Chains A and B, each alone.
Chain A
Amino acid sequence: MSSSLSEQPATPRGALVTVRGAEKQFPALGGREMITALDGLDITISPGSFVALIGSNGAGKSTLLSVLMGAQFLDEGAIEIDGEAVTDQPSWQRSDKVAMVRQNPENNVLGGLTIEENFALAVMGPRRGLRLRRYPRAEIRANAAAALAGFGMGLEDRLDESSATLSGGQRQAIAVAMAAVRKPRLLLLDEHTAALDPKRARIVGEATTEIARQHGMTTIMVTHDLAHAMHQTDRVLMMHRGRVVLDLSGPEKDGTGVSDLAGIFERVVGEALPDRTLLAVS
Chain B
Amino acid sequence: METLLIGAQIGLLYGPLGLGIYLAISVLSLPDLTLEGSFGVGAATGAATAVAGFDPVTAMLAGMAVGACAGLITAVLHTRLRMNVLLTGILMTSAAWSVSIAIMGTGNVSLVRIDTLFTWVRGFGVSQQNATIIVAGGVSLLLAGLLAAYLHTSSGLAMRATGLNIQTARSFGIRTERYQIAGLAMANALAAASGVLVAHSQGFMDVSIQGGIIVVGLAALIVGMTILPSEKIIPGIIAVLVGVVVYRIVIAFCLRAGIPPANLKLLTTLIVLAFIAIRMHGGGLYRIREWRQRRRQHIQFLEENRVVKLI
Q: A-side interface residues toward B, CB under 8 Å?
A: 69, 71, 90-93, 95-96, 99-100, 106-113, 117, 120-122, 124-135, 162, 164
Q: Can you name 7 extra interface pairs (CB under 8 A) apart from A90-B175, A113-B161?
A: A92-B172, A96-B173, A122-B172, A125-B158, A131-B153, A132-B150, A162-B231
Interface residues in B, total, Cβ within 8 A: 23
Q: Does B296 contact A (CB under 8 A)?
A: no
Neighbour of A107 across the interface among B160, B165, B173, CB < 8 A: B165
Q: Does B281 contact A (CB under 8 A)?
A: no
16 A-B pairs in the complex with CB atoms less than 8 angstroms apart: A92-B174, A109-B168, A110-B161, A110-B169, A111-B165, A112-B160, A112-B163, A112-B231, A113-B160, A122-B172, A125-B173, A126-B172, A126-B173, A128-B173, A130-B154, A130-B174
Do A107 and B167 contact each other (CB < 8 Å), given the known contacts A120-B157, A135-B157?
yes
Q: Is the CB of A133 within 8 A of B157?
A: no
9 shortest A-B CB distances, which residue pairs? A125-B173, A95-B173, A125-B172, A126-B173, A110-B164, A91-B170, A135-B154, A130-B158, A130-B154
Residue pair B231, A164 in contact (C-beta under 8 Å):
yes
B171–A69 CB distance below 8 A: yes
Q: Taking the complex as formed, is B176 at the interface, i.e. its CB lies under 8 A from any CB of chain A?
A: yes
Number of A-B residue pairs at CB separation under 8 A: 88
Q: Does B152 contact A (CB under 8 A)?
A: yes
User: In the complex, which residues of chain B have a beta carbon less than 8 angstroms from the beta carbon of A90?
Assistant: 170, 175
Report yes or no: A71 in contact with B153, Cβ–Cβ below 8 A: no
| A131 and B155 within 8 A (CB) | yes
Residues of B within 8 A of A128 (CB): 173
Residue pair A71, B167 in contact (C-beta under 8 Å): yes
Chain A residues near B165: list those with CB within 8 A. 106-107, 110-111
The residue on B at minimum CB distance from A179 is B171
**Interfacial chain A residues near B231, Cβ < 8 Å:** 112, 162, 164
Q: Note all chain B residues with C-beta closer than 8 A to A124.
A: 154, 157
Residues in chain A near residue B169, CB distance under 8 A: 110, 121
Q: Which residues of the other chain, B, contact A100 by a CB distance below 8 angstroms?
A: 171
B154 touches A91 (CB 8 A): no
Q: Is the Cβ of B152 less than 8 Å from the Cβ of A134?
A: yes
Q: Per-position contact with A for B166-195: 1 when CB-CB < 8 Å, else 0? A: 011111111110000000000000000000
User: Of all chain B residues, which has the CB nearest A162?
Assistant: B231
* Smallest beta-carbon distance B42→chain A, Å: 24
For the complex, give the distance between the alpha carbons of A129 and B152 in Å.
14
**Chain B: which residue is nearest A117 at the CB level?**
B157
Measured CB to CB, the closest approach of chain B to A135, in angstroms, equals 5
Interface of chain B, main secondary structure: helix
- The answer for the CA separation of A159 and B234 in the assembled complex, in Å, is 19
A129 touches B154 (CB 8 A): yes
Task: Report yes or no: A71 in contact with B174, Cβ–Cβ below 8 A.
Answer: no
Q: Which residues of B contact A91 (CB under 8 A)?
A: 167, 170-171
Question: How far is it, in angstroms, between the C-alpha of A135 and the C-alpha of B168 when the chains are bound?
Answer: 19
Closest to B174 in A: A125
The reply to whether B154 and A131 contact each other, CB–CB distance below 8 Å, is: yes
Which residues between 41 and 68 of chain B lie within 8 Å of chain A, taking CB atoms?
none
Candidate in B158, B168, B173 with the most chain A CB atoms within 10 angstroms? B173
Q: Are A130 and B155 in contact (CB under 8 A)?
A: yes
Min CB distance, A64 to chain B, in Å?
Answer: 16
Provide the residues of chain B in CB contact with A106, threshold 8 Å.
165
Q: Note all chain A residues with C-beta closer than 8 A to B170.
A: 71, 90-92, 95
Residue of B nearest to A164 (CB): B231
CA distance A99 to B175 in the complex (A): 16
Find out whether the CB atom of B154 lies under 8 angstroms from the CB atom of A133. Answer: yes
Q: Tell me which residues across on chain B come within 8 A of A113, comparing CB atoms.
A: 157, 160-161, 164
Q: CA of A121 to CA of B158 in the docked complex: distance in angstroms?
A: 7
The answer to whether B154 touches A92, judged by C-beta atoms less than 8 angstroms apart, is no
| CA gap between A271 and B233 in the complex, in Å | 53
Name the A residues within 8 Å of B160 (CB-CB): 112-113
A218 to chain B, nearest CB (A): 17
Q: Are B153 and A134 in contact (CB under 8 A)?
A: yes
Bound complex: CA A162 to CA B150 (Å): 20
Residues of chain A contacted by B163 (CB below 8 angstroms): 112
CA distance A130 to B152 in the complex (A): 11
Chain B: minimal CB distance from A92 (Å):
5
> In the complex, A106→B152 CA distance in Å?
23
Q: Which residues of B contact A117 (CB under 8 A)?
A: 157
| Alpha-carbon distance between A109 and B175 when the two chains are bound, in angstroms | 17
B229 to chain A, nearest CB (A): 13
B150 near A121 with CB under 8 A, answer no
Other-chain residue from B150, B152, B173 in contact with A92 (beta carbon distance below 8 A): B173
Residues of A within 8 A of B171 (CB): 69, 71, 91-92, 95, 99-100
With both beta carbons as reference points, the residue of chain B lying nearest to A66 in the complex is identified as B167
Question: A121: which of B152, B153, B157, B167 is its contact (CB, 8 Å)?
Answer: B157
Residues of B within 8 A of A108 (CB): 168
Which residues of chain B from 127 to 159 have a CB within 8 Å of any chain A CB? 150, 152-155, 157-158
